[in-house]
Chains A and B, each alone.
Chain A
Amino acid sequence: MGEKPHIKVEMLSDPCLLAGVRQLVVGVAQRIGFDEHACSQVALAVDEALANVIRHGYGRAADRPIWLSLWPREENGACGRGLRIEIEDEARQVEESELCGRDLDDPRPGGLGLHIIREVMDEVCYQKRSPKGMRLTMTKRAPAGAGRGE
């Protein structure tokens, strides 16, 4: 991925940690000028991605590692301001083509996380890590007119 992340957190796959991670992500997003709506969307995407790793990747085991990396992008280059997020794990590997949400016309519990992530983030990419696990890279561009937070 090249450039080192500005923030990298190693956490356990414990659902009780999700609230704290959401607060961290919102804080970083606010700092680079995301509005409240965009902050909520990014926190939701991270929450859903971590929940998917815990639920499907680790079969709800609460003691496995997950790494969250953040690259706040503040420069006004070609890509503009935004936030790149990586979530890595050591869970079983799957092909990206296998990662499809359920049919939204069939209301039933579960299977919504992937759809939500793709809906609220601008770029979403799943890759296999070497030698094991998966890496999810997501990017959210700052809303037009967003100023830098204090």
Chain B
Amino acid sequence: MQDSSLQVQVESRGGSTILSPRGDVDMSRAPSFREHVRIAQQGKPKQVVIDMAEVEYMDSSGLATLVEAMRNARGLGVGLVLCGLNPKVLAIFEIARLHHFFKIVPTVSDAVGGV
């Protein structure tokens, strides 16, 4: 049985808070993911970068969490950037036609360098 708590490494770099979740993000782990993102956004950095390099799998629950995070980001005036998406994870953004809704860059360096 999968642990419902998602491991997320948090790092501050310049004006960015970088979240690096590890493992699958599905219905069981989306609430944990949402909480990590919410806390990072409430800290009001210039931007929150979500590095998905260690996320092997994500379903629409994870996608919904990110859509909510983007809406909150706009309300708070905090940037939100996604990076490190593997092709399987990127595919779900494309199926849901949400790949243009987010700022998606290849790496953390690209995300942080864009501040």
Contact = CB atoms under 8 A, between A and B. Distances in A.
Interface string A119-136: 110000000000000000
Contacts, number: 74
Interface stretch (A1-9, A16-24, A76-84, A140-148): A16-24
Interface residues of A, number: 28
A120 B88 CA distance: 12
Contacts of A105: 97
Interface string B6-32: 000000000000000000101110000
A107 B101 contact: yes
Contacts of A137: none
A113 B60 CA distance: 6
Main secondary structure of the interface of A (DSSP, over half): helix
A47 B57 CA distance: 11
A116 B91 CA distance: 10
Interface in A97-112: 104-105, 107-110, 112
A81 to B, nearest CB: 22
Interface of A: 14-20, 22, 40, 43-44, 47-48, 51, 54-55, 104-105, 107-110, 112-113, 115-116, 119-120
12 contacts: A15-B26, A15-B27, A15-B28, A17-B2, A18-B27, A18-B28, A48-B59, A48-B60, A51-B26, A107-B101, A112-B60, A112-B64
Closest 7 CB pairs of A and B: A15-B28, A109-B64, A112-B60, A19-B2, A15-B27, A51-B27, A109-B68
